[in-house]
């Protein structure tokens, strides 16, 4: 845990020194207006993804659960795209993240409504699949109706997830919901521990199963929805983080909760730095979105997990 | 002491229990027997307060072990047993160590529960119930997956627990174990109580519920230890 924190602080320091394809001590305005917001967002978004992944895998007793499973990533992206499509984002920059937050909120409402009054693991997953499907189809509709090819390219690029060109305003918008979500999720440890023996046993141990799952979904919606609203859909961090921590901290779900946000933050920060340095070593004209890298590295990891889990 | 009166329960539109009355007192080991689908597990879940419309129980007082309980993650045996302290909201080590000792798996405390045998994992689940130090144990097939010696050891433990003043209600398919160790055998058939008798008198009713003959067996058989 101390190691993780030290690694995170070291990454943060290096991250402030690395620019888009440059390695130098920056001027004060660049530091404050470009690198600091970018690094802070990586911490917040990565931390939210890592923590949500650990909570969902524990709550659903499924090592393949990912925050994206609940569909909130989809509705947050849709909200941002709608704000973009109507030209609100061009008139008023914060409309994009605000649209994403609104989308995340509506998605969370739909999710909890679909999951029913007493959600269980399967009903929550089913609700997530339904919300994802709705978000995906409406997103496709928005893309078909895109006003011009330029907007279509912008939307597609944004949806891949990235931390470039964000300001302290984005940090201020995303931080409260992400921190509130994290506060909710961090308290679920004993309930998740009990759920590892199944919902019946957890209930017999006095754990309010439906309430625990609802809080897990709501906390994830806050943390991941707000993250998506400012940074687009960044995949695989939430899936991978718990798997990285288990060999080290053991498999008790509650034991992962404190470390998961630190690991998620460190992972996204590191991925973002790699992305910024990529044009130095690869023939790229610009830094690719960080979501591309996390998916590229996360997908083989997913296969490795599935192979290991299969008998 | 735990019980239900006039319990009629339907699961998914299918009536599983018809007007069942059941009670078990302190110091009693009661075996629930009967054919598959007779409603044994449903009665146990109802007693545990886990079915809609059944009264909730104080989790510090009543421990419930479901059929085929397994752990989704590779917790250590000791961590599994320690989950039994959740109702008390404490991390006291003594009841956990004691439970592992009682269930004969203290030596496996650091082993991952997904990397030991099925019988050992089953005893880890039982140790979780003991770690709660409840007044009432509701156990669904605690001897499933266990070898004969371990089954007898668990049944002796349950009998000693009841004799020490606790209430133990156990669903058992192994009729010989039920008749040998329980104080009382309740036979369920098609959602109704077919018989409720002291164990020494329960064989004819239990055999009838299964549709099996009974009588002296001239072949050599395994005997319980001691």
**pLDDT at res. B22:** 95
Query: Is B173 found in the same domain as B204?
Result: yes
Domain boundary among the residues B105, B133, B161 is at: B133
Query: Is B186 found in the same domain as B81?
Result: no
> Residue range A15-31: average pLDDT?
68
Domain boundary among the residues B78, B111, B133 is at: B133
Query: Is B143 found in the same domain as B120?
Result: no
Do the chains contact at B65 and A201, CB–CB below 8 Å?
A: yes
Lowest mean pLDDT among A95-99, A305-309, B170-174: A305-309
**pLDDT at res. A24:** 62
**pLDDT at res. B99:** 98
**pLDDT at res. A23:** 58
Query: Is B147 found in the same domain as B95?
Result: no
Under DSSP, the state recorded for A26 is: P
**Secondary element (H or E) of residue B207:** helix B203-210
**Surface-to-core class of residue B148, CB atoms within 10 Å of its CB (0-12 exposed, 13-18 middle, 19+ buried):** middle
Question: Distance between CA A57 and CA A220 in Å, rounded?
Answer: 12
Of A187, A222, A25, nearest in space to A111 by CA: A222
Mind listing the pLDDT tens digit for each residue in B88-140? 999 899 999 999 999 999 999 999 999 999 999 999 999 999 999 999 999 99
Mind listing the pLDDT tens digit for each residue in B186-219? 999 999 999 999 999 999 999 999 999 998 888 8
- Return the C-alpha torsion angle A112, A117, A122, A125, nearest 10: -10
* CA A252 to each of CA A127, B16, B71: distance values in angstroms, whole numbers, following the listed order: 26, 36, 10
pTM: 0.92
Judge whether B226 lies within some domain: no
> Residue range A267-279: average pLDDT?
89
More confident site: A31 or B78: B78
- Return the C-alpha torsion angle B115, B118, B121, B122, nearest 10: 170
Question: Distance between CA A94 and CA A114 in Å, rounded?
Answer: 30
Query: Is B191 found in the same domain as B94?
Result: no
Nearest to B71 among A196, A203, A206 (CB): A196
Say which residues have a Cβ less than 8 Å from residue B74's Cβ, sequence separation at least 6. Answer: A246, A250, A251, B112, B113, B114, B115
Residues B172-186: b if buried by 16+ CB within 10 A, e if exposed: bebbebbbebbbbbb
Question: Distance between CA B45 and CA B64 in Å, rounded?
Answer: 8
> Residue range A118-124: average pLDDT?
88
Q: Across the strands, what pairs with A141?
A: none
What ipTM was assigned to the predicted interfaces of this complex?
A: 0.93
**Surface-to-core class of residue B191, CB atoms within 10 Å of its CB (0-12 exposed, 13-18 middle, 19+ buried):** buried
Query: Is B187 found in the same domain as B95?
Result: no
Judge whether B190 lies within some domain: yes
Residue B79: pLDDT band with limits 50, 70, 90:
very high
CA angle B104, B107, B113 (to 5 degrees): 85
Q: Across the strands, what pairs with B198?
A: B184
**pLDDT at res. A304:** 83
CATH number for the domain including B175? 3.40.50.300
Whether A207 contacts chain B with CB within 8 A:
yes
Do the chains contact at B72 and A190, CB–CB below 8 Å?
A: no
Residues in chain B: 226
Question: Distance between CA B189 and CA A303 in Å, rounded?
Answer: 48
Say which residues have a Cβ less than 8 Å from residue B54's Cβ, sequence separation at least 6. Answer: B4, B7, B9, B45, B46, B47, B48
Query: Is B159 found in the same domain as B55?
Result: yes
Q: In which residue are the tokens 């008998």 written?
A: A311
**pLDDT at res. A71:** 92
Question: Distance between CA B196 and CA B202 in Å, rounded?
Answer: 8
Whether A122 contacts chain B with CB within 8 A:
no
Q: In which residue are the tokens 């699949």 written?
A: A129
Quote the domain boundaries for residue B146.
Answer: 1-61+135-213
Q: Are B65 and B56 in contact (CB under 8 A)?
A: no
Judge whether B3 lies within some domain: yes
Judge whether B221 lies within some domain: no
- Return the C-alpha torsion angle B7, B64, B142, B114, nearest 10: 140
Judge whether B223 lies within some domain: no
Domain boundary among the residues B110, B133, B156 is at: B133
Percent of all residues in chain A with a pLDDT value above 70, rounded to a whole number: 95
Question: Distance between CA B83 and CA B164 in Å, rounded?
Answer: 24
Question: Distance between CA B85 and CA B97 in Å, rounded?
Answer: 12
Q: Are A203 and B50 in contact (CB under 8 A)?
A: yes
DSSP H helical ranges for B103-202: 118-131, 148-163, 175-181
Query: Is B150 found in the same domain as B84?
Result: no
Query: Is B188 found in the same domain as B98?
Result: no
> Residue range B217-226: average pLDDT?
86
Mind listing the pLDDT tens digit for each residue in A131-158? 999 999 998 888 888 777 777 777 777 7
A195 contacts in chain B (CB < 8 Å): 72
> Residue range B61-70: average pLDDT?
93
Judge whether B162 lies within some domain: yes
Residue A309: pLDDT band with limits 50, 70, 90:
low
> Residue range A162-187: average pLDDT?
92
**pLDDT at res. A164:** 83
CA distance B226 to chain A (A): 35
Question: Distance between CA A221 and CA A158 in Å, rounded?
Answer: 20
Mind listing the pLDDT tens digit for each residue in A187-222? 999 999 999 999 999 999 999 999 999 999 999 999
**pLDDT at res. B63:** 98
Query: Is B120 found in the same domain as B156?
Result: no
**pLDDT at res. A26:** 66
**Rounded to 5 degrees, what are φ and ψ at A219?**
-65, -40
Is residue B171 classed as helix, strand or coil in its secondary structure? strand
**pLDDT at res. A25:** 65
B86 contacts in chain A (CB < 8 Å): 190, 193-194, 205-207
Of A298, A303, A275, A304, nearest in space to A50 by CA: A298
Sign of CA dihedral B124, B129, B133, B138: negative
Mind listing the pLDDT tens digit for each residue in A277-292? 888 788 877 778 888 8
Query: Is B128 found in the same domain as B83?
Result: yes
How many of the other CB atoms lie within 10 Å of CB of A35? Answer: 18
Q: Is the pLDDT of residue A100 over 70?
A: yes
CA distance A154 to chain B (A): 42
Q: How many domains does chain B have?
A: 2
Mind listing the pLDDT tens digit for each residue in B10-55? 887 788 899 999 999 999 999 999 999 999 999 999 999 999 888 8
Question: Distance between CA A241 and CA A267 in Å, rounded?
Answer: 8
Judge whether B222 lies within some domain: no
Highest mean pLDDT among A9-23, A53-67, A78-92: A53-67
In whole numbers, what is the pLDDT of chain A averaged over residues?
88
CA B151 to chain CA mean position, Å: 12
Do the chains contact at B72 and A61, CB–CB below 8 Å?
A: yes
Q: Is the pLDDT of residue A163 over 90?
A: no
Nearest to A196 among B58, B62, B73 (CB): B73
Judge whether B163 lies within some domain: yes
Highest mean pLDDT among A89-93, A233-237, B93-97: B93-97
Query: Is B142 found in the same domain as B52?
Result: yes
Residues A238-276: b if buried by 16+ CB within 10 A, e if exposed: bbbbbbbbbeebbbbbbbbbbbbbbbbbbbbbbbbbbbb
Query: A194 to chain B: nearest residue by CA?
Result: B83
Nearest to A204 among B50, B70, B76 (CB): B50
Mind listing the pLDDT tens digit for each residue in B134-181? 999 999 999 998 999 999 999 999 999 999 999 999 999 999 999 999
**pLDDT at res. A310:** 55
Question: Distance between CA B114 and CA B108 in Å, rounded?
Answer: 12
Do the chains contact at A196 and B76, CB–CB below 8 Å?
A: no
Q: Are B170 and B142 in contact (CB under 8 A)?
A: yes
Q: In which residue are the tokens 């940074």 written?
A: A231
**pLDDT at res. B152:** 96
Mutation target for A interface from B72, B114, B128, B130: give the one with most A CBs within 10 A.
Answer: B72
């Amino acid at each position: 845990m101390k190691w993780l924190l030290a690694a995170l602080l070291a990454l943060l320091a290096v991250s402030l020194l690395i620019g888009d394809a440059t390695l130098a001590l920056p001027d004060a305005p660049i530091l404050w207006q470009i690198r600091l917001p970018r690094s802070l967002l990586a911490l917040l978004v990565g931390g939210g993804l890592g923590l949500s992944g650990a909570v969902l895998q524990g709550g659903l007793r499924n090592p393949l659960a990912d925050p994206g499973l609940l569909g909130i990533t989809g509705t947050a992206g849709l909200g941002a795209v709608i704000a973009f499509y109507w030209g609100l984002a061009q008139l008023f920059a914060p409309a994009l993240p605000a649209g994403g937050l609104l989308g995340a909120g509506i998605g969370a409402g739909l999710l909890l409504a679909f999951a029913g009054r007493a959600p269980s693991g399967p009903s929550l997953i089913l609700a997530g699949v339904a919300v994802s499907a709705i978000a995906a189809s409406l997103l496709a509709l928005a893309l078909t109706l895109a006003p011009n090819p330029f907007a279509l390219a912008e939307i597609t690029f944004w949806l891949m997830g990235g931390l470039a060109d964000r300001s302290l305003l984005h940090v201020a918008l995303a931080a409260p919901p992400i921190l509130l979500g994290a506060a909710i999720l961090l308290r679920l440890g004993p309930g998740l521990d009990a759920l590892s023996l199944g919902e019946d046993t957890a209930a017999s141990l006095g754990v309010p199963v439906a309430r625990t799952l609802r809080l897990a979904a709501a906390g994830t919606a806050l943390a991941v929805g707000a993250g998506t609203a400012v940074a687009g859909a960044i995949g695989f961090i939430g899936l991978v983080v718990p798997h990285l921590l288990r060999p080290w901290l053991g498999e008790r779900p509650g034991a992962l909760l404190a470390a998961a946000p630190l690991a998620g933050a460190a992972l996204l920060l590191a991925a973002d730095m790699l992305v910024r340095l990529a044009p130095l070593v690869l023939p790229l004209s610009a830094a690719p979105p960080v979501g591309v890298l996390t998916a590229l590295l996360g997908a083989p990891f997913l296969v490795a997990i599935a192979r290991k889990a299969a008998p | 002491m735990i019980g239900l009166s006039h319990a009629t329960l339907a699961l998914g539109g299918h009536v599983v229990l018809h007007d069942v009355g059941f009670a078990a007192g302190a110091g009693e080991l009661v075996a629930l027997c009967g054919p598959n689908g007779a409603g044994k597990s449903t009665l146990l879940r109802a007693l545990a307060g886990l079915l809609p419309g059944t009264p909730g129980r104080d989790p510090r007082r009543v421990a419930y072990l479901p059929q085929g309980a397994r752990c989704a993650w590779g917790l250590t045996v000791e961590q599994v047993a320690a989950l039994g302290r959740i109702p008390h909201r404490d991390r006291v080590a003594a009841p956990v160590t004691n439970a592992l000792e009682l269930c004969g798996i203290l030596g496996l405390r650091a082993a991952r529960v997904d990397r030991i045998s099925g019988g050992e994992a089953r005893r880890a689940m039982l140790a979780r119930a003991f770690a709660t130090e409840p007044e009432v144990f509701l156990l669904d097939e605690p001897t499933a997956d266990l070898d004969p010696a371990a089954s007898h050891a668990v049944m002796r433990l349950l009998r000693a627990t009841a004799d020490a003043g606790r209430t133990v209600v156990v669903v058992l398919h192994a009729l010989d174990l039920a008749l040998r160790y329980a104080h009382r055998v309740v036979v369920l058939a098609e959602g109704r109580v077919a018989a409720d008798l002291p164990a020494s008198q329960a064989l004819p009713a239990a055999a009838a519920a299964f549709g099996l003959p009974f009588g002296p067996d001239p072949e050599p058989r395994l005997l319980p230890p001691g």
